[in-house]
Structure 1
Amino acid sequence: MSVEDELKELRRELRYVTDRLAILDCVMKQSRGHDRHDIELMASVYHNDGVDEHGPVVKLGPDYGEYANQAHSSVFVDHLHNITTHTCEIDGDEAHCESYVIGAMRSRDGKTVHIFGGRYLDRVERRDGVWRIALRRCTLEWTMNGDTSLLSSGSFTGFIKGTWDKNDPSYARPLDLEKTPVKKW
């Protein structure tokens, strides 16, 4: 292989790796925004004309965050969306992704956690050099419930408790043990 061919191949591989990381970051930022109720972060991962379909609710992606925050906070006190298996097929400026998601959502009663398993099926597009979601379709594969009364038993006293706003310690820059205020169990 000539040096020129080798450089061409390296550029192609670097483009692929850079695109994959940008796409994965996009998917992860949406989940982080979801769990921190950060509307700006959630909106930033959708194109202005992007669409999010969660069951019967179909919203323009940038508007999904406000709807989701209201819907979640009406029945849950906290939640975590975990992205697990993630596959992605890139074809130029368009990519099709499948991301498995496990959502754990604690009810307002403080005693029950609802766990959901599903997938995000995304068409992600690079526009003006930025990868964002053009279409997200959410599947639901299974659910189960569990008891969370252990959280209020005192067993976790002193552990940090996340918040649904930018006061969550994950936003602290720099993260500092002494200077970063936290809410605790």
Structure 2
Amino acid sequence: MSTEDRLAALEARMQEVVDRQAIFDCIKRNSRGNDRFDIDLVASSYHDDAVHELGEKQISGREYGEHANRSHGALFDANLHNVTMHMCEIDGDVAHAESYSLGVFLDKGGETGRMLAGRYIDRLEKRKGEWRIVLRRATVEVAIEGKATLPTGKTLPGSRYLRGSRDRDDPSYARPLTTDSGSRW
């Protein structure tokens, strides 16, 4: 194999690695935006013509952040979406991804909570050099609910643990990160 061929193969492999990371970052950006109620961050994970399927309902990807904020805000004091196992197949500027997700939700009042486990099944496209979701189909395959207590037997309210916020006042946005920001349960 010539040096040119080896360099071309290395460049192609490197592009695949870069694309895979950009796809996974897009999927994680969507979850972070949901948890921080950051509509712009959620919207940045979808192309303008994207569709997000929720059960039998289909909504615009651009409208999903606002929809999720309304739903999560009405029912829960906190929510965390965790993207775990992730696979994707890339074919040029189109990718199909399957990402396992765990959604943990603290019910209003903080005494009970629930966990939903499922998958994000996504078709993404790379347009103008940027990977974004074109179609998201979400499954829910496990749902568990119960008391939301710490190992001490106490609920989160009153625990004095750092509490995240659903806006840009959340400590994760602080630069530089210091111990001066954030509220406590």
Looking at structure 1, the residues matched to 157 and 47 of structure 2 have their Cα atoms a distance apart, in angstroms, of 44
Task: Say which is worse superposed, 124-133 or 145-154, in terms of deviation.
Answer: 145-154
Name the counterpart of 2:182.
182
CA–CA distance in structure 2, aligned partners of residues 110 and 90 of structure 1: 42
After superposition, the Cα gap between the structure-2 partners of 1:2 and 1:59, relative to the gap in structure 1 and judged at 3 Å, is same
Structure 1 unaligned regions, length at least 5: none
Give the equivalent residue in structure 1 for 2:42. Answer: 42
Give the structure 2 partner of residue 131 of structure 1: 131
Structure 2, gaps ≥5 residues long: none
1:100 aligned partner: 100
Normalised by the size of structure 1, how large is the TM-score? Answer: 0.94
1:93 aligned partner, one-letter code: D
AA in 1 matched with 2:144: M
Q: What is the CA-CA distance between 1:153 and the residue it aligns to? A: 6.8
> 2:101, 2:92 → 1: CA distance?
26
Query: 1 CA distance for matches of 2:124 and 2:77?
Result: 31
User: Residue 30 of structure 1 aligns with which residue?
Assistant: 30
TM-score, scaled relative to structure 2 = 0.94
Give SS of 1:176's match.
Answer: coil
Q: Hey, what's the Cα distance between the residues in 2 that align with 1:52 and 1:153?
A: 34
Partners in 2 of 1:68 and 1:7 — Cα distance? 45
CA offsets per residue over residues 101-140 of structure 1, 9 Å max, x none? Answer: 0001111132111100100000000011110000000001
Alignment of 1:1-185 (within 5 A): 1-149=1-149, 150-152=154-156, 154=158, 156-157=159-160, 159-177=161-179, 180-185=180-185
Matches of 1:116 and 1:9, distance apart in 2: 42
Taking only aligned residues, the RMSD between alpha carbons, in angstroms, comes to 1.2
4+ long deviations beyond 2 Å: 149-154
Q: Which moved more, 1:55-64 or 1:44-53?
A: 55-64
Task: Report sequence identity in percent.
Answer: 47
What is the CA–CA distance in structure 2 between the aligned matches of 1:106 and 1:184, rounded to whole Å? 15
Aligned residues: 181
Please state whether the residue corresponding to 1:170 is helix, strand or coil. helix
Question: 1:55: how far off?
Answer: 1.1
The whole-number CA distance in structure 2 between the counterparts of 1:37 and 1:111 is 22
Name the SS for the 2:101 alignment partner: strand
